[in-house]
Amino acid sequence: MTESELDKTTDTELAEQDEPGQPAPVRVLVAEDEALIRLDLTEMLRETGHDVIGEASNGQEAIDLARELGPDIIILDVKMPVLDGLSAAEVIGRESIAPVVMLTAFSQRELVERARDAGVMAYVVKPFTIADLTPAIEIARSRWAQTKALELEIADLEERLETRKSVDRAKGILMGKLRLSESDAFRWIQKTAMDRRMGMREVADAVIKSMGSPAVTETRR
Considering the four listed CATH numbers 1.10.10.10, 3.10.20.310, 3.60.15.10, 3.60.40.10, the one that applies to the domain covering 3-19+146-211 is: 1.10.10.10
- Determine the pLDDT at residue 62: 97
- Determine the pLDDT at residue 132: 93
> Which pTM value belongs to this model?
0.67
- Determine the pLDDT at residue 107: 67
- pLDDT single digits (tens) 130-155: 999 999 999 999 888 888 887 776 66
CA–CA distance, 115 with 168 (Å, rounded to integer): 19
- Average confidence (pLDDT) over 115-135: 87
Domain boundaries, the chain: 3-19+146-211, 27-129
CA–CA distance, 66 with 82 (Å, rounded to integer): 16
219 pLDDT band, cuts 50/70/90, is very low
The mean of the pLDDT values for the chain is 83
CATH assignment, 27-129: 3.40.50.2300
Q: Region of 96 please: left (phi>0), alpha (psi -120 to 50) or beta.
A: left
CA–CA distance, 219 with 109 (Å, rounded to integer): 16
- pLDDT single digits (tens) 49-103: 999 999 999 999 999 999 999 999 999 999 999 999 999 999 998 898 999 999 9
CA–CA distance, 169 with 214 (Å, rounded to integer): 7
